[in-house]
Structures are given as structure tokens and as C-alpha cells.
Chain A
Amino acid sequence: MIRKTAIQAAIALSIATSGAAFAETITIATVNNGDMVRMQGYTDTFTAQTGIDVEWVTLEENVLRQRVTTDITTKGGAFDIMTIGMYETPIWGSNGWLVSLDDLSAEYDAADILPAMAGGLSHDGTLFAAPFYGESSMVMYRTDLMEKAGLEMPDAPSWAFIAKAAREMTDRDNDINGICLRGKAGWGEGGAFITAMSNSFGARWFDENWDAQFDTREWSDTLNFYVNMMEDAGPAGYATNGFNENLSLFQQGKCGMWIDATVAASFVTNPNDSTVADKVGFTLAPDNGLGVRSNWLWAWALAIPAGTQKEASAKQFIEWATSKDYIELVAANEGWANVPPGARQSLYANPDYQAVPFAQKTLDSILSADPTNSTVDPSPYVGVQFAAIPEFAGIATEVSQEFSAAYAGQQTVAEALAKAQAITNDAMEAAGYR
């Protein structure tokens, strides 16, 4: 009886292992944005090449974060590849939760990855996630409205110019708002924008002693400038506008300018979705003459959780999905404007891609963001629109909720900043920084 069970188990085991060698299935958790969804469409190509089946778990960004974080911290092993960002990668990498990607094949050409991206996705010089696409932020503006206002957009505008242009372009009767910006609560939404903006005003989240800095003049300048400009030239209800809402407003021709992710450039210039596709110009995100611009740096990247049984297959997938060949594949089928941008240097050296109107400004924006030196005054953290410490996401979400309440007129800027200061210091104390 016992022997029989043992034999059965052995057979089951051998079937399982041999099966794995032939048709392995990897499970990938990913975010539901356009580029990722497109990649899912090409999965069959990957399966045909390698014989590895792929199962997708596609989730909205917030749900995805909560899902993969739970799984990685508990070593749940539900996923073989996780889609994570520049915020998570260094933290998880330093905890030893991710498989190092330093040994990718020669033809993959890891050296081709944009240094800013590779840097943000590494910990102690080890690459822990391969960028699928990378982004910074820049100004997207309506060339026709700019002309109508009698203004000319400089290559590197200042906040003063942006505010002036925004007010002049505003035409409430025709439902045109001079500027659309994120105000929505959430660290990855309005929180990211205002943090990147505050950098150019000389503000920072923490000083070298990890003390919150919301009681500084710089932060109050940032917020007041933002609120005043949005009151005069922003859309009604901007306190709940995030990336999606602004994209839609811009595509419908209701925004003169929009400062947001560089990947949006391909959406606003796509004539299928955008009513203003042929009237969009691009320029660098504004600064205040302090040496730091207000653009951020982000990448959605693929990482392998340590402990997965299918590391080899997972690596094969990552090599495929973030390769030069994949870019070629998308370009051949859907045109160069739709390839995942911002990850590889070779893409920007490609003459076909250089012909895409937003290619150069995207690259310039990415190159001008420096996560290790993002603030005017020295700060103890890495990251442009975030601080790469585990506590940041929670703190920044709460802080941005206070900011959004101020945008909605439910409290003053001063009140919001005071609460932000208290929330941040309290959380940092709970985490043992102070």
C-alpha cells in the first residue's frame, strides 16, 4: 500500500518535472496600460518561439501594487514575473526579493538600456528589473492656441512663462483651460506631479535628518503657485483629475497645455483618439532658475521574484519583452510612434524613430532627470517624484489627499501643509527614522 503511493508520487513528480521542461507556464502580473496590453497581444509570438506559455494577471495600477506587494513580502510565489516601477525595484532588490538580471544574454545588450533607467532599476549596481518602457514628464501644448495668444514656447520654459501662457490661453467661454495638471490624490497621481514640481521650487520631502520639510517656504510657494495658476487657468474640478482625466480633456481640445508623462505624447498625437493630433508641440518641463527642472523619471519594468521555480523561463520572457526585437516587432505592425519608448538608447539612435515628433523631447526630458540628485538642497533619498523608502507610498498618498482637499477648496494651503508635516513626521517616527 505504502509502496504503491510512493510509486504514484514518483510518477506524478516525474510527470510534473518533465512537463515543466516541455511546456512551462509562467504567470505574469501586469498593469492595464496601453503598452502592456499591446504586449499581451504579442504573447503568441513568444510562445511560438520558445514553447513557454504565458498566463496574464492584468490589473489596474493600485490593485496591482497591493497584489504584488502582498505576494512578495509574504513570499507567496503566485507570480513568476511582476510588473513594478522605479519605486519598488530598489527597495525590493535591497531586501533580496528579486532575481538579479545581470546575467542576461549578450544579444540582449543590457548596456543599451538608458543609464537613467538602468540606474533607477538597480540596487548597488545590480539590475533587478528590466525596463519595458520609461518616461519622464514634459509640457505638451497646443501650437494653435499658443499662436493665438501671441506667444512662443521656449525650449526650456520657466514656471513664470507657463503661468502667464496658461492665463492667456484660457478661454472659459469656449471651454478651453490654459493648463491641465494632475490634482488627484494618490502618490503616483497628483502626488508625483506636485513632488516633481516642488523640486524645481527648491523644496524637498526630507532634510538630511529625515525631518519632513512641509513647513518650509519652498513648499508653500510651490502649492500656492500651483493653486493660484489652476484657479485662474485650470479646469473645474481639477482636484480629482489624474492622468486619465487630463488625457481625455487634452484629446478633446479642452487644454492649452498639459504637463505629464512623456508616454502621453503618442496618445495625444494619435488621430484616432485625439481631436488635436496635428496641433501638439512638446517642450521640457518648466523650472524656476534654480537648476532643477520639474520633470520626473519613471519606468514600468519586469522583475522576477526570488524563489520562483521558473526563473529560466521568466528570464527568457523578460529578454523577449524588453528586447530590441520586440520594439522592431511593434514598429513593423503598428508604426514607430507606438513602440514602447524610453528604455533603450538604440531606439533614439534609430533614424525611423527620430522622425517621430516627440522622440527628441522625450529623450531630453529623460536625460535631464537625475534620481540621485533631484533636489536643490541636499536630500537623503533617491528618486525624483518619490523617495525610495518603503514608507513613502503610504505617507505620500495621505499627504496628497490633504493637498487634493486644499485644491478642492476644503482647506487652505497652509492647513494642508501643516497636516502633511504632521502625517509625515508621525509615519517616519513609526518607522524608526526619527
Chain B
Amino acid sequence: MARAVTTQRKAFNTLLAWGIGLGIFFPILWTILTSFKTEGQAIADPPLFLMFDWTLENYAVVQERSDYMKFLTNSVVIAGGSTLLGILIAIPAAWSMAFVPSKRTKDILLWMLSTKMLPAVGVLYPIYLLFIELGILDTRTGLVVVLMLINLPIIVWMLYTYFREIPSEILEAARMDGASLKSEILYVLTPMAIPGIASTILLNFILAWNEAFWTLNLTAAKAAPLTAFIASYSSPEGLFYAKLSAASTMAIAPILILGWFSQKQLVRGLTFGAVK
């Protein structure tokens, strides 16, 4: 039974929502537009909205200066690797918390979250020294591990909340049928939780993609992802808004497109147990 709404009301909602939506999106839109301007047009007074000579020159310059694909590949591998590794470790843990809860389950969960509160800059030296010791400085492996650890609490929590929504009777039924713990998780639980897992993967992929402290400080040439790419375009000599915009667009475009295509998936699962 949908609530009856007048067309007038709907039109008003539409107008208002689109206005606000475009307002929120505007900084990104403006950056994309600016990336197609010349440097002169980028700072023109009054600002040019659409009526300018569209050019791809900025992208050419940025690509010539830095090998975009190398940074992109590293970003994909690091964000993807850390997310998948995190999921593999988190599924069993979330299963235990959701289906074999103990008095301490909630404490453990909150403790896990609290590990995220350690200020990263304070431990840069210790971690850097550790990375040298282990020989994983400027490697993707090193970053995959660090980002996995950073996001693991969030992954565990998200999965835990999805798993809790699955009626434990179903799992028990499987157990009665003689399913082992492994197959219970692998063939019963996981398929049922696919939407939640997908959403968890997406959110953590985004968080890992955007992580800018460790990815910048623990890499040099080989493992540097897009966060390092953008660090070579902030504040050069002179104000190069158009080139900065082009570099920014290149840095955010892949994740933006991914996010848009998968937004239904992302939204469906993004509840953190907020919905009963």
C-alpha cells in the first residue's frame, strides 16, 4: 500500500532532491569540467561553466609525467588484496560471534574497533623499522597486510551484523543433516550472506583505495598507488588548476565508476546492524 502522493508534491520533492544532489556532487563535477580546460580558462573571471574550448591536453601532460597505469594497478591490487584477505580472515570470526555468542562477544567487537583509534603518525617509525626488518618496504604485500589490518575491525563488524540476521535454525538444520563446520560456513552461510559480503567488500575496497597515510609513507616507486600519484600534483610551482583537476579526476574516476555501478549492492548492505 503505497502512500498516495500528489503529483505536485512529487514534483516538489524531485526538484528539491535534485537541487541538493547536484549541489553535493558539484565539487566533483567542477573538477571534471576544469580538467578539460586550459590553465587560463581554469581561473577565468567570471568562471566558465560549459562554454570553453574542451581540451584533453591536461590528461596528456599528466600521463606523460607519470605512468598512470602503474599507480592504478597498484591501487587495484592493494585495495583488492587487502579486502579479500580481510574477508577470508573475518568470515570465521564473524561466524563465531554471530552464532556462538559468549558474554565477551560484544567486548571483543568493540575492542577490535578501538584498535583503529591508534594514531597512525605516532607509530610511523616503529612500523617503518619493522617493514625494513621484514624487507617489505615498497612492496604490495606489505601494504596489503597493513590495510587489511586497518580495515579488519570494520569487516568483522559488518559481517557479524549480516550473519546475525540469518536465522540460526537454518544452520542448525544443515548441521543435523551432518554438514561439517566447514561446509556449513562454505555452502550454507556464505551463499546466504552474499549481499552482505558484497557490500562489505565494496565498502572496504573504497576505504583501502582512499587510505593515504600508510600507502604514501611505506612506498617508493614500485608499490605506490594513486594516493602517491596525487601527491606529485599538489602545489607545484604556479597554480595549475587544470592539471590538478585532471590528475584528481584520474585518481577518483575508477572508484567513482565502480561505486556507481555497484551502489545498489553497497547500499543494501551498508547498515552496520543499524536496522533490526
Contact = CB atoms under 8 A, between A and B. Distances in A.
A244 B231 contact: no
B56 interface: no
A248 B238 contact: yes
Interface stretch (B93-101, B109-117, B121-129, B150-158): B121-129
Given A27-B220, A40-B65, A74-B129, A59 B239 contact: no
A58 B132 contact: no
Given A63-B216, A76-B137, A273 B128 contact: no
B228 interface: yes
A243 B238 CA distance: 8
A62 B45 CA distance: 31
A128 interface: no
A67 B235 CA distance: 16
Interface in A15-62: 27, 29, 32-34, 37, 40-41, 55-61
Given A57-B221, A76-B128, A267 B238 contact: yes
The interface centre, meaning the residue of B128, B129, B235 with most chain A CB atoms within 10 A of its CB, is B235
B224 A57 contact: yes
B236 A34 contact: yes
B239 to A, nearest CB: 5
Given A32-B233, A58-B65, A70-B124, A247 B216 contact: no
Given A79-B220, A245-B239, A267-B237, A58 B128 contact: no
Contacts of A67: 216-217
A244 B236 contact: yes
Given A33-B236, A267-B237, A70 B125 contact: yes
Interface residues of B, number: 29
Contacts of A273: 39, 238
A78 interface: yes
Nearest to A242: B235
A77 interface: yes
A74 B231 contact: no
Given A56-B221, A78-B137, A78-B220, A32 B232 contact: yes
Interface in B120-146: 124-125, 128-129, 131-132, 137-138
Contacts of A75: 132
Interface in B229-249: 231-239
A70 B123 CA distance: 12
Interface residues of A, number: 34
A142 B53 CA distance: 31
Given A59-B232, A78-B138, A244 B238 contact: yes
Contacts of A245: 239
A58 B232 contact: yes
Contact of B128 (A37, A57, A63, A70): A70
A243 B237 contact: yes
Contacts of B222: 55
B66 interface: yes
A35 B231 CA distance: 17
A37 B132 CA distance: 29
Contacts of A55: 221-222
A40 B39 CA distance: 22
Contacts of A248: 43, 238-239
A23 B11 CA distance: 66
A38 to B, nearest CB: 10
Contacts of B231: 59-60, 63
Contact of B237 (A27, A33, A74, A77): A33
B136 to A, nearest CB: 11
Contacts of A79: 220
A273 B238 CA distance: 9
Given A27-B220, A74-B125, A60 B238 contact: no
B236 A57 contact: no
A57 B220 contact: yes
B138 to A, nearest CB: 5
Contacts of B220: 27, 29, 57, 71, 78-79
B226 to A, nearest CB: 14
A427 B272 CA distance: 45
Contacts of B224: 57
A302 to B, nearest CB: 16
B183 to A, nearest CB: 35
B142 to A, nearest CB: 11
A61 B233 CA distance: 10
A45 to B, nearest CB: 15
Contacts of B137: 76-78
A61 B235 contact: yes
A107 B127 CA distance: 44
Nearest to A275: B40
A225 to B, nearest CB: 28
B228 A59 contact: yes
A32 B236 contact: yes
Interface of A: 27, 29, 32-34, 37, 40-41, 55-61, 63, 66-67, 70-71, 74-79, 243-245, 247-248, 251, 267, 273
Given A58-B66, A60-B234, A63-B231, 10 more contacts: A27-B221, A41-B64, A57-B228, A59-B228, A70-B217, A74-B125, A78-B137, A248-B43, A248-B239, A251-B238
7 contacts: A27-B220, A32-B233, A37-B236, A61-B235, A74-B128, A244-B237, A267-B237
